Amino acid sequence: MKTIGIIGGGQLGLMIAEQARLLGARTVCLDPAADAPAAAVCDDHIVGRFDDPAAVEELCRRSDVVTYEFENVPGDILIPLCDKYHIPQGYRPLYDSQDRLREKTNAREHGLRTPRFAAVDDEASLRAAVAQIGLPAVLKTRTLGYDGHGQAVLRTEEDLARALPLLAVPCILEEFVPFDFEASIVMVADDERIVSFPIGRNVHRDGILDLCFVPAEVDGEVLARMRRESERFMRSCGYRGILAIEYFVRGGEIYFNEMAPRPHNSGHYTIEGATTNQFRELARYLLGEPLQEPRLVAPTVMKNILGQDLEAAQRIAAACPPHVYVHLYGKSECRPKRKMGHITFVGMTAPEYEAAWASRFVK
């Protein structure tokens, strides 16, 4: 029986472990929290920091194959371990995704269209970038930003002044794209093939994913191009394992926004909404098993459950309505904008969700 090591013990690690168990594999996770969600499912749990070389190497020693559930694994720890242990995704997709300037440059160099962007390190370079790109624009920290943190939309001179504190760290200024909607694709690749999951339309609130509607209501040619260009990008970069890419869609144009070399929040719908799911196909890749091509079971809606909606989700779980699947992550502390779970509505369209379910959650 093979053991999959997971750097990180959050909800993504939890769902990787659940699917690995169904495939007959053991799992061990590394997380600093003794009550990390994945610890409830994994066969073993190393309580340790991600920046502790001894803890990360101990995880590798206990595992036949190692993956990661978040992007910010310190490179100076992971890179040398890639030569000693079996970490099949390697470090490159992590490295490329950890810095927004590097990420956008890499996407553009490999043929994806991006919003215009420029490096910003101080007020002078910010004003030069604004002169080049124009307003509105989005100022983002180059590293460690997530779920809307570390960014500001600039529309006026007053916005520039208010955004100056962000320049305490290196930043990037990006053109503001007046998109029709956001979409994402999740892919898993081995040496033989790439499997792609049906593309969803994403709705964010305060920078955090709120809803995903699958299939995305957009021209089929646009979706086919998004899939084709994403798969070509993945091969061109030499990536293996799992990769999610988020796009802005404007008319018939698609713009690369960001990528993640791990399971993605927008792909959680695949657990019940598709014939196989992102976590299972990642586990198949890690175990050296043939990948399976996913198919959509029915129109599906995925609702992210943040702390403010936890009680509503618990009530829905207790009621057990048909074709409604409530996933709660078992986190010990509930906070208003913390991801506490998700709900998948299978066989439901966006209008049906809005009519029957949207009012149950905090607006």
334: domain CATH number is 3.30.470.20
Number of H helices, E strands in the chain: 12, 17
Q: Are 167 and 245 in a shared domain? A: no
Question: 133: domain CATH number?
Answer: 3.30.1490.20
220 within a domain of the structure (yes/no): yes
| Most distant CA atoms of the chain, gap in Å | 61
Which residues are CB-contacts of 307 (< 8 A; sequence separation ≥ 6)? Answer: 334, 335, 336, 337, 338, 340
Q: Are 156 and 261 in a shared domain? A: no
Q: Are 170 and 185 in a shared domain? A: no
Q: Are 187 and 331 in a shared domain? A: yes
Cα–Cα dist 332/51, whole Å: 23
Place of tokens 């920046």: 51
Q: Are 82 and 120 in a shared domain? A: no
pLDDT at 144: 74
For residue 326, the number of C-alpha atoms closer than 13 Å in the C-beta half-sphere is: 19
Q: Are 276 and 244 in a shared domain? A: yes
Of the candidates 87, 104, 139, which is a domain's last residue?
A: 87
What's the pLDDT tens digit per position in 58-89?
Answer: 999 999 999 999 888 888 899 999 999 999 99
Domain that holds residue 121: 116-175
Q: Are 143 and 218 in a shared domain? A: no
Cα–Cα dist 115/257, whole Å: 8
Q: Are 57 and 166 in a shared domain? A: no
pLDDT at 147: 56
Q: Are 187 and 261 in a shared domain? A: yes
Cα–Cα dist 98/93, whole Å: 9
336 within a domain of the structure (yes/no): yes
Of the candidates 70, 87, 104, which is a domain's last residue?
A: 87
The residues of the chain scoring below 70 in pLDDT are 145-149
- The alpha-helical segments, DSSP class H, found in 179-245 are 220-237
Q: Are 206 and 266 in a shared domain? A: yes
111 within a domain of the structure (yes/no): no
Q: Are 207 and 350 in a shared domain? A: yes
Question: Within a 10 A sphere around the Cβ of 275, how many other Cβ atoms?
Answer: 11
Indicate the pTM of the whole model.
0.96
- Give one DSSP letter per residue of 8-76, joined into a string: --SHHHHHHHHHHHHTT-EEEEEES-TT-GGGGTSSEEEE--TT-HHHHHHHHHT-SEEEESSS---HH
287, 63 contact by CB (below 8 A): no
For residue 137, the number of C-alpha atoms closer than 13 Å in the C-beta half-sphere is: 26
> Facing residues of 324 across strands?
345
Q: Is 206 helix (H, G, I), strand (E, B) or coil?
A: coil
61 within a domain of the structure (yes/no): yes
Cα–Cα dist 115/7, whole Å: 32
Which residues are CB-contacts of 332 (< 8 A; sequence separation ≥ 6)? Answer: 35
Q: Are 340 and 233 in a shared domain? A: yes
267 within a domain of the structure (yes/no): yes
Number of domains in the chain: 3
Cα–Cα dist 349/277, whole Å: 20
96 within a domain of the structure (yes/no): no
What's the pLDDT tens digit per position in 259-270?
Answer: 999 999 999 999
